[in-house]
Each structure stands twice: as C-alpha cells, then as structure tokens.
Amino acid sequence: MDTRAFRSICSGFARLDRVLLLPCVWLLFTLGCASSASYEGAFSSSQQIQGSSEFIPAHVDITWSAVLEILSQQGFLVQQADTKSRIILANRHIRDTKDEDVSYTLTATLTFVPSTDQITRVMIAANQTTELHKKEYRWWKLLWLIPVIPIGTDFTTVVVNRDTVRSDQFYHDFFTAVMKSCDEKKTFAQPTAREKFAIPK
C-alpha cells in the first residue's frame, strides 16, 4: 500500500470519528440539560408526606399540652415551644436495636392551626439521620508490621443516610397517642354533675 492510499484511509477514519462524535456530544448535552435535581420537585403533589397532618377534635390549648406530653413520654427533647407561633421543635436520638454501631436522630417540627374553637389541625414534618459509629484501636507494632499492644482508640461517626420520614406507622402512632391524650384531658376538664348543679354562693 502506497503512502497516498494510507493517508486517504486514515483521513476517512478521522472524518468518521467526527461524524460519530458530534451526535454523542449533542445527546449528552441534551440529557444533561433535560435532567433536573430531585429537590426541584419538593413542592409537587407527588412529594407530599401522607398522614403527616391530622384534625384533632380538641381546643388548641388542650392539643398543645397533649403533644408536649407525648413528646416527653417518648424521649424527645423539646428544643423550642413557641406558643405565639404555635410551633414546637423537638429531636430524639435512638440506638438501633439490632446493630449497636448504628443510631438514628429524629428531628420534628410541629405546627398547630386552630380550625374552630374545638378542632385543631396538627402538622408534623420529621427528618431522620442514620449514623454509623466506628471504633478502631491504635496498636503498637513490632517492626512496624505486627500489632502487639493497643495504645489508643479512635471513634468516628459517618452519616450514611439523611431523609424525610415517610413511614405511615410513624405518623399513625403519633396522632393516635395525641388523640388519646386529648380525650383524657377533655374528660378530666368536664365538670361533674354535682359541680354543674351546685348553687353559687
């Protein structure tokens, strides 16, 4: 094969590469522009958390007291309780029952909206963070190779997951406990028959 023919073949391959390369680059550019980050749909109807709000048949003061009671009973630490804005911030740390190296941090924001004098809407937004706790020993090594004596311990924590709580059971258990507490409080608040018909002094 002479030099001219060889150059002609190489030139043909070069043109073919350019022809194939341009559509590939355009396809990648189009896909990159068309795709959107997951957070951009945060306010779409598909992202609504089912079961995260409930109408409680009780006055807002009774509901507020019941929620604080439930949070305390379940081991949540109340960081903020703003009666003016009707917002409660609380969190809780939970160790995994099956793996002691894994723990969860729950953070909840509760909002109270009075619908009527005896009906209160409670909304809860909850996030969970999963953390992995690692424990490693530092060793004194013989000849810099063979570990012989532990000389210290290093503890590290790695966040392996962080997301919104979407469990139906989580919200169901919370609102069930709140309604039960509200019913008990309303029962205690009702005057007895003797108090109703007592003659005022």
Best CA proximity match to 131, nearest among 153, 102, 170? 102
**H or E stretch at 128:** strand 119-142
11 φ/ψ angles, rounded to the nearest 5 degrees: -65, -35
pLDDT in the model for residue 17: 46
DSSP summary character for residue 201: -
Which residues are CB-neighbours of 89 under 8 A, at least 6 positions away?
A: 78, 79, 80, 81, 107, 108, 109, 110
The SS3 of residue 109 is strand
Digit-coded pLDDT (tens) for 90-118: 999 999 989 888 999 999 999 999 999 99
Which CATH code is given to the segment(s) 52-188? Answer: 3.30.530
The SS3 of residue 182 is helix
pLDDT in the model for residue 71: 96
For 181, counting Cβ atoms within 10 Å of its Cβ (0-12 exposed, 13-18 middle, 19+ buried), the class is buried
pLDDT in the model for residue 56: 96
pLDDT in the model for residue 135: 80
pLDDT in the model for residue 36: 63
Best CA proximity match to 91, nearest among 77, 81, 75? 77
pLDDT in the model for residue 19: 45
Return the number of other C-beta atoms located less than 10 Å from residue 172's C-beta.
12
Query: What parts of the chain have a pLDDT lower than 70?
Result: 1-37, 189-201
128 φ/ψ angles, rounded to the nearest 5 degrees: -130, 145
Give the rounded distance of the alpha carbon of 192 from its chain centre: 45
CA dihedral 111, 73, 163, 157 (to 10 degrees): 140
pLDDT in the model for residue 3: 45
Q: What tokens were used for 142?
A: 């013989």
Beta partners for residue 141, in sequence order: 147
pLDDT in the model for residue 136: 81
Give the Cα separation of 81 and 89 in Å (integer). Answer: 7
